[in-house]
Amino acid sequence: MKPTLLVLAAGMGSRYGGLKQMDGLGPHGETIIDYSIHDAVEAGFGKVVYIVRESFKEQMEAAVKEKYAGVKTVDGQPLEFVFVTQELDKIPAPFTVPEERVKPWGTAHAVLMAAEVIREPFLVINGDDFYGKESFRIAADWCRAHENTTGQYCIVGFELENTLSENGSVSRGICSYDGEGRLQDVTEHLEIAREQDGKVYGNNSVSGQVHVQLDAKALCSMNMWGFTPDYFTKSAEIFKGFLQEHIGQPKKEYYIPYAVDVIVKSGEGSCEVLSTPSRWFGVTFKEDRPAVVAKFAELVEKGIYPSPLY
């Protein structure tokens, strides 16, 4: 069994100022998604599903068809690609999109768009985040081990200090889990940054505490989730409840942590917290771009990636 990689690539990058998914950051114009797919294929993934917007689906498909034409899976088969779209009107009856709604419905809604094309354990990632080879190996092993299970999910947690930006504070969901490594909660912290004393501080969005010291080794969510396909059915039902309660709130979004939290607290499933030693990086801000370009150049120089990648 080869698991599937689900890439969330429908966001337009409002803070970044452009379509990050198509931005060439590697030495030969490679995108962050290119590196993620390279690592996923090495780890044993066999199919890639892109969640995109209709407005740039054609552009993305053409780029992928050209770039990955010769890419093979670990057993020598052609790597399969599927494109599905996330749009505001893709919601269940009897709900209709309010006129004032402009924002997408969120990451958990985006994942639901792939329900008809995924039948195996799968890994969800952001298209504009670099996760590192080890993270994909850990996730692939989990997916293969859960081929015939239901109601068991996972999140690949990154150490908080391995996710910070040098160009501004960030928001992170910090995981809390029990003694068996089962997720209990994901608590959002805002304005996280390492300060002059070398310690990491942030604001707790739940308690309202401001400028509290955070554990630099705490595991946080970078939206790297592993699911068995029964998740789609559970999440679809939760989405109906979400719409019932929030349809009139134009900025409210249905996020993956919300869906997982409902499943876990209802007892219908559990979520294992996996720890990765990898260092995350991405282009949250335009100012992040030069550093990311330099990091990819360094990884190539060390021989971790070939250049060109494909």
Within 10 Å of residue 239's Cβ, how many Cβ atoms? Answer: 21
Judged by average pLDDT, the poorest of 41-45, 69-73, 242-246 is 69-73
Residues 263-269, mean pLDDT to the nearest whole number: 95
The average pLDDT across 106-111 equals 96
Q: pLDDT-derived band of residue 64, with 50, 70 and 90 as boundaries?
A: confident
Residue type, 181: G
CB 79 within 8 Å of CB 67: no
- Per the prediction, the chain carries an average pLDDT of 92
Instruction: Report the C-alpha gap between 130 and 45 in whole angstroms.
Output: 17
Question: What sign results for the dihedral spanned by CA atoms 50, 88, 271, 170?
Answer: positive
Interval 25-52: pLDDT, tens: 999 999 999 999 999 999 999 999 999 9
Helix (H) or strand (E) holding 258: helix 256-266
Assign domain 4-301 one CATH number from 3.30.1330.60, 3.90.550.10, 3.20.20.105, 3.30.70.120: 3.90.550.10
Mean pLDDT across 58-80: 89
Residue 63 banded pLDDT, cuts 50, 70, 90: confident
The predicted-structure confidence for 189-209, as pLDDT tens digits, reads as follows: 999 999 999 999 999 888 888
Note the pLDDT of residue 183. Answer: 97
pLDDT tens digit string along 291-306?
Answer: 999 999 999 999 999 9
Interval 135-154 mean pLDDT: 97
**Averaged pLDDT, 94-119:** 94
Could you give phi then psi for residue 91, rounded to 5 degrees?
A: -130, 155
Q: Where are the alpha helices (DSSP H) in 44-129?
A: 54-67, 107-112
pLDDT recorded at residue 21: 56
What's the confidence (pLDDT) of residue 10? 84
Q: What is the average pLDDT across 85-103?
A: 92
Q: What pLDDT was estimated at residue 182?
A: 97
* CA nearest neighbour of 166 among 23, 18, 35, 283: 283
What is the residue extent of each domain of the chain?
4-301
* pTM of the entire predicted model: 0.93
